[in-house]
Amino acid sequence: MTETLLEVRDLETRFFTPDGVVKAVNGISYTLNKGEIMAIVGESGCGKSVGVMSLIRLIPEPPGKVTGGEAFFMGQDLLKMDKESIRQVRGREIAMIFQDPMTSLNPVLTIGHQISESLKAHMGLDKQEARQRAIELLEMVNIPEAGNRVDDYPHQFSGGMRQRVMIAMALSCMPHILIADEPTTALDVTIQAQIVKLVKRLRDELGMAVIWITHDLGVVAGIAERVAVMYAGSIVEEAQVDDLYERAAHPYTYGLLGSLPRLDLLRDERLTSIDGMPPDLIALPEGCPFAPRCSYAIDRCPREKPPLLPVAPRHKVACWVDLNTGRER
């Protein structure tokens, strides 16, 4: 029986700006099981990163604010914790790595010093113990000659090696959940594959769960077991990865898959594109936010927002139309 590690219910996040209230995350719900790798997919600005940063309270306040929902982790609601309690969870129980390691690492401190900080703060290690543990962590993520590199500065590492350092830092306290926010976007495809392989190996060795945030469905196929597709701050489809690729049930997911380069395409077949633009998150439409761009839309779509409901075992979709028949569900 799978053990639920994280349960998010109806999470809402808003940004209060001079131009109006940005509805960044609009009532998303999902669970994460122990040892599972779940991907959150969607285009830029759809709320992927804001959704997970809301959980560990990294949203700048103001202008941002979590305005609703619950996020239960090991029996506690992360959204109701005081600042000191969430600080103890963040980094130790739930760790996060970001897209650009160069902006996350301090350029004037050695790699060893930066890894040691969390070990001393959360694990109570002294300076020498923390340094030795930092070397072990660098070896764990396949940094060559870790004993010598521990005293190097971030600029002395390549992009792929810096991302490995960020993974080592995130894993320093052996967290239950690792959140990876587009960690391979700035890397070439060879290094991307190495990082994906590394994270999967560490998941198997350490038993942690992973939330992998990306806009790249090609990466998702190689790492995730379950996928949540986001659009305009909402989850529009959630399924096991194989089921999603074989039987996409939302027009947006279908469009994303149609724009993905494939080796089995015939010479005269072309990649498809999704017409139109994402909605303004300050003035979201009343109904389905994808309706203005959707070729399957019916009269009901602009008026009513569809709920996320099961269409098959372990497969949910928020759409009024059955893509196979073109008829209303």
pLDDT digits 0-9 by tens, 36-59: 999 999 888 888 999 999 999 999
Does residue 324 register a pLDDT over 90? no
Each residue of 265-289: pLDDT tens digit? Answer: 556 667 777 888 888 899 898 899 9
| Degrees to nearest 5, angle at CA 253 with 247 and 256 | 115
Q: What is the pLDDT of residue 41?
A: 92
CA quadruple 276, 278, 282, 287: dihedral positive or negative? positive
The two beta strands, 64-73 and 234-240, are unpaired
State mean pLDDT over 245-263: 82
State mean pLDDT over 105-129: 85
Residue type, 106: N
> What pTM, to 2 d.p., does this model score?
0.89
Helix segments in the chain, DSSP class H: 48-55, 83-89, 101-104, 111-123, 127-140, 146-149, 159-170, 189-206, 217-223, 241-246, 251-258
Distance CA 11, CA 28 (A): 5
pLDDT band at 328 (very low <50, low <70, confident <90, very high): confident
Distance CA 256, CA 41 (A): 10
Each residue of 178-206: pLDDT tens digit? Answer: 998 888 776 777 878 888 888 888 888 88
Q: What is the pLDDT of residue 52?
A: 93
Q: What is the pLDDT of residue 43?
A: 86
Q: What is the pLDDT of residue 266?
A: 57
- The phi, psi pair for 149, rounded to 5°, reads -75, -15
Q: What is the pLDDT of residue 263?
A: 63
The chain-wide mean pLDDT, for the chain, equals 87
State mean pLDDT over 247-256: 89
Each residue of 140-169: pLDDT tens digit? Answer: 888 888 888 989 899 988 888 888 888 888
Asked if 111 and 149 count as a contact pair (C-beta separation under 8 A), the reply is: yes
| Degrees to nearest 5, angle at CA 167 with 164 and 172 | 125
Q: What is the pLDDT of residue 158?
A: 85
State mean pLDDT over 201-214: 88
Does residue 1 register a pLDDT over 60? no
Highest mean pLDDT among 106-120, 166-180, 222-236: 222-236
State mean pLDDT over 296-322: 90
